[in-house]
Amino acid sequence: MKITGVELRTIRMPLKSPFETSFGVESDRVAVLIRVIGTVQTHEHQAVEVQGWGECVAMEQPLYSSEYAHAAADVLRRFLIPMLLAESAAGREVTAELIGPLLRAVIGHRMAKAALEMAVLDAQLRGSGQSLASYFGATRSTVDSGVSVGIQPSIQALLDVVGNYLAEGYVRIKLKIKPGWDVAPVEAVRGRFGDLVPLQVDGNAAYTLADARVLRQLDQYDLLLLEQPLPEDDIRQHAELARLIRTPICLDESVISVRAAADAIAMRACQVINIKAGRVGGYLNARRIHDLCLANGIPVWCGGMVETGLGRAANAALAALEGFSLPGDVSASDRFYDQDITRAFTLDDGQIAVPTGPGLGVEPIQDVLDDCTVTTEWLQAT
Ligand code: NPQ
Ligand code: MG
């Protein structure tokens, strides 16, 4: 496609309830959205205007990773979008598959790059009339829906929250843990809801190898997995911890690229991988990691970053690939938002439907989007 211009938008959406993890409490979602406008040539050589949406999953503060929303907007405005516009202005065809190589000279900033690739991919697929799921070669029409449950003020509060999610039909519960809030909440949930509830925990890198004794206590609760217990840059010690505990280790923050995934698998640092497209530089890399894990017998699941309906649509399409054999954090819109910026994703018997329309298959509802918009700017070829 030929790129006409790019809109860069920052939004702020209130969360229904504070979401506490080992790295802090979030009460609203600040996110950067991208809208790419361009033209594609039809078979009859007519120029048709298309647009595509991208969502950057970087949080407002650099607490989950080094990226944060304001910085992502800056690197997009200052480097990534000008590179895209220059490529198109030079008369070279822009496709989603070329975004990675085109932006490779910029080091890091994976969540920012992923948002731009997502917007170009959405526009491209809207132009060709293909859904994202079929572009991936995904087979499922619905995906299992799990839910990520934040740290609560008390065990009783946690049991109430988990009980409500199970009543809503979520098929898997993930508990956020931190030192001092780990064995007790897991024991309480198992005690109240039994051994059959698929249960896992996420430490968000808050532990060290010195906590192995406590983490080993979790082995008795038949958890699906223990997600990212140790720091993101410490794949080697995850391999050591894996030899000390029975619960399978799942990596999240550490898997920032296809190469990091291959390293973690080779070092036996994880038995499962949480795939997040934004964390690995885009949905194309996310599919490559899926393929790598499938070939190595490593189960994967689709992680979440409290996305709006745009990112949720893309995650549902990704999670429909055969290798996503464990329930993901692709929850209903109302897990986090009273009003999503797209049509709501709802839970149906524990499943989320995979959009079938062209591209993402959803788009923002203009007045809802305008209500939560903080800034917008338009960038076009100079
Ligand atoms: C995780 N996601 O798996 C992340 C952590 C996380 C669903 O647990 C705003 C934006 C708040 C992103 C809170 C889930 C967030 C966020 C937690 C990501 O580690
Ligand atoms: Mg995680």
pTM given for the model: 0.98
Which pLDDT score is estimated for 381?
78
Mapped onto helix, strand or coil, the DSSP state of residue 120 is helix
The tokens for 375 are: 């800034």
Does the CB atom of residue 30 touch ligand 1 within 6 A?
no
The pLDDT value given to residue 43: 79
- Does the C-beta of 204 come closer than 6 Å to ligand 1? yes
* Alpha-carbon separation of residue 219 from 94, 166, 198, 292 (angstroms): 50, 23, 14, 28
Residue 8 has pLDDT above 80, yes or no: yes
Residue with CA nearest ligand 1 atom 4: 305
Q: Give me the mean pLDDT over the 110-138 stretch.
A: 97
* Partners of 377 in the β-ladder: 8
Burial letters for 243-259: b for 16+ Cβ neighbours within 10 Å, e otherwise?
Answer: eebebbbbbbbbbbebe
Rounded mean pLDDT, 6-30: 98
Kindly give, in sequence order, each residue whose CB lies less than 8 Å from that of residue 189, ignoring residues fewer than 6 positions away.
Answer: 158, 159, 162, 173, 175, 197, 199
Residue 21 Cβ inside 6 Å of ligand 1? The answer reads yes
Which is the catalytic residue, given 2, 174, 178, 276? 276
Looking at every residue in the chain, the average pLDDT score rounds to 97
User: In the 8-state DSSP scheme, what is residue 180?
Assistant: T
DSSP string, 267-286: TT--SEEEE-TGGGTSHHHH
Query: 213: pLDDT confidence band, cut at 50, 70 and 90?
Result: very high
Band (pLDDT 50/70/90 cuts) for residue 45 is confident
The whole-number pLDDT of residue 42 equals 81
- At 39, is the pLDDT very low, low, confident or very high (cuts 50, 70, 90)? very high
Question: Has residue 382 got a pLDDT over 80?
Answer: no
Residue 176 known to be catalytic: yes
274 CA closest ligand 1 atom index: 3
pLDDT (mean) for 84-94: 96
204 Cα–ligand 2 center, Å: 6
pLDDT at 117 over 90: yes
Residue 157: Cβ within 10 Å count: 11
Distance between Cα 273 and ligand 2 center (Å): 10
Judge if the beta carbon of residue 19 lies within 6 A of ligand 1: yes
304 alpha carbon – ligand 1 mean position (Å): 6
